[in-house]
Amino acid sequence: MNQEFYTLVAFEYVADVQILKGRLEADGVPVFLRDENTLNSDPLISNAIGGVKLQVYYSDKEKATEIYNEVRAYAVDDQGNLRSCPNCKAERMEIYYNRKGLFYKLFPFFEKRKYKCLNCEFITEPS
Ligand SMILES: [Zn+2]
């Protein structure tokens, strides 16, 4: 049987994809990563091809999407506690990338990480 793949999400960095991958596999969803090897060897090339793509079988699409929405990268601090929104206090912050201009496309590591609240969309920039 020829199974089709569904790209659930693309990540910029390999470290970010591992969390979701582990969670999906724990729930019995087979996970396939594309372009990961290229990414590890050369971050500039990986940026050009769109980072790591996390794919699942189409038959797992709904289950995988559900899990993704549940766990999707709620940002944590260095102690592993959920970051809370300075505006509405919700603990539903996710990492937010604000790529503008060619410079940051070429050199994403110069950009500081920001966090976006999924509740009120407040964007914060940790000092
Ligand atoms: Zn908020």
Task: Summarize pLDDT for 70-107 with one digit per residue, the tens.
Answer: 776 577 777 777 888 999 998 888 777 655 555 555 55
pTM score of the predicted model = 0.50
Nearest partner of 53 among 78, 28, 37, 34, judged by Cα: 34
Residue 48 CA to ligand 1 centre (angstroms): 32
- Average pLDDT, rounded, for the chain: 76
Please give the pLDDT value at position 55. 93
Residue 7 CA to ligand 1 centre (angstroms): 29
- Residue 59 per-residue DSSP state: G
Cα diameter, the chain: 52
Residue 94 CA to ligand 1 centre (angstroms): 11
